[in-house]
Structure 1
Amino acid sequence: MDSQRYLDCFASDFARLRTVAASAPDAEVPTCPPWTMTDLVRHVAQVYSHKAATMEHDARQPQPDLTGEDPPAALDRGYDKLLAQFGHRQPSDVTVTWFPPDQTVAFWIRRMAQETVIHRVDAELAAGVESAPIPRDLAVDGVDEVLERFLAFASHHFREDFAGALDDLTGQRVRVETGDSAWLVNLDSKVITLEAADGPADATVRADPETLLRWLWRRAAEDSVTTEGDQSAVDALYTVLKGATQ
């Protein structure tokens, strides 16, 4: 996906999130307990404002305190701030990120598109409305981001987020497949890695792109995917994903 495609998806999912959230501000968010919809909106507003400030100052920033602010208004301001940063800079421009291999504005464009589509799903689940489809290209890209950056990278650099779950891994190898795309996850207790997808695997997880993305982010039922092989290896992957996607 190129940056303009991410921005288009970002705009569409933000609009959907904003509309759905306004329809049920007090609804409980089943995928983010104990949040209400208002808490979800405040969280996304905080993320937007924080990332915009990070790019503006090209340095790590403290989390903004939105206490006492109207969450929908804060959400709109955060979104506008992000668009301002994305609008006057090139995707290739250098800026600080939490992922050392990619220190560019493009990193945040992709991350905000993926952040927004997942929280748009959260809002839909809270409001009890039919979920808008996740575009196939965005979903496949989201699967890649989860596995590469939130699972493999984070297992090395943010081990504490996994609350000890990594210690129980024994090198299980799980192939994750959707359409023509596949990833082989090596669940090593020292560090999770991605290997050549055609290598040997103990188990396979397979689903269409949207279902797989939702499953990885724990926004779909655990049995919504098709599995083959050693179920305990799949269970191990699902367990460590909780730390990666919290």
Structure 2
Amino acid sequence: MDPLAVIRSESDRFAEVLAGADPQAPVPTCPGWDARDLLHHLAEVHAFWAQVLGSDVRDDEGVEALEQAAPPRPDGVEELLALRARATDALLEQLGALDDAEPRWSWWPPDQTVGFTRRMQTYEATLHRVDAELTAGLPPSPLDPEVAAGAVEHCVDVMWGYVPDWAQDDSTAVVELVATDTGDRWQVDVGRWHGTGPESGTEFDMARARRAGQEPDPALPTATVTGTARDLALWAWGRGPRSAVRIAGDADAVAAVDRLIEQGIQ
């Protein structure tokens, strides 16, 4: 997989689809957004990460400075399309010049490297291209199986795993995700975190999941989720129907998985 080629092709397809869509069409996978919001989002994301990489941002203060200096959002579709093109070019220029191991800020504390941004933007561009096609009333075009498997792995290792330091963390079950076309398997500890936010006083009860171990253990899973890498990726990221994958096993484990997916990815 060439991440830069994936980001380029998926971002260009994203823009091509939205250029012909109704600007006010709702985005079915991002409630409250219309096509213009989606177009601006990817442009903003690419511009932001290009600046993080290019300006060697390594801390929250640097990120805050970038956010405060962000230009106002354009209103017109043509302006948004031009902004997206420039932002993608800038992001790819930085990713092409930097090694994965070089330190840079990211929102995921365990991985403060360029490599995190490269992986995240590969999957973000791909899934937002799917959003664009759904917004335009088109069936999602294919996902490369290697990209799809990587997107599932990113959910397992990053997107589902947030637990605040102050929260109580409870495990419910170990579930195995099985990609029938690539042979990839992921064992995932699915559970919940809950408690009272120390600053807000708000009560939380949220689903979470994380890798159960580096090596699969046949004795651990009490449920399985089976499908092609594409179907697993779309399901995991909230872009595909539950019916596209086969979920079987213990009722509590299945319910925990369903809750995780229904909660969605922010």
* TM-score bin, normalised by smaller chain: 0.7 to 0.9
Match of 1:162 in 2: none
Q: Are the structure 2 counterparts of residues 56 and 102 from structure 1 closer, same or farther at C-alpha, using a change threshold of 3 Å?
A: same
Shift of 1:113: 0.9
CA contact (8 A) 1:46 1:66 kept: no
- Same amino acid, percent of matched pairs: 30
Q: Which runs of 4+ in 1 moved over 4 A?
A: 156-159
SS at match of 1:43: helix
Gaps of 5+ in 1: 160-165
| Corresponding residue of 2:129 | 120
Deviation, 1:221, is 1.1
Rounded to whole Å, the distance in 1 between the matches of 2:171 and 2:114 is 37
Matches within 5 A, 1:214-233: 214-233=234-253
Q: Mark the CA change 1:170 to 1:90 in structure 2 (over 3 Å): closer, same or farther.
A: closer
Q: CA deviation at 1:172?
A: 1.9
Q: Aligned partners of 2:228 and 2:46: how far apart in 1?
A: 29
Aligned length: 235
SS at match of 2:89: helix
Give the structure with the larger strand fraction.
2
Deviation, 1:76, is: 1.5
Q: Cα offset for 1:95?
A: 1.7
CA distance in 2, matches of 1:107, 1:22: 30
Q: Larger Rg: 1 or 2?
A: 2
Deviations 1:76-97 (A, max 9, x none): 2211220221233233322222
Q: Give me the TM-score of the superposition, normalised by structure 2.
A: 0.80
**TM-score after normalising by structure 1:** 0.86
* 1:243–1:81 CA distance, 2 compared to 1 (3 A): farther
| Structure 2 partner of 1:18 | 15
The aligned counterpart of 1:133 is: 142
RMSD (Å), alpha carbons: 2.3
What is the CA-CA distance between 1:109 and the residue it aligns to? Answer: 1.4
SS in structure 2 of the partner of residue 171 of structure 1:
strand
* Structure 1 residues 146-182: Cα deviation after superposition (integer angstroms, max 9, x where no partner): 1111112x235697xxxxxx97x65222111113211
Partner letter of residue 176 of structure 1?
L
Q: Does 1:88 align with 2:97?
A: yes
* Greater share of residues in helix: 1
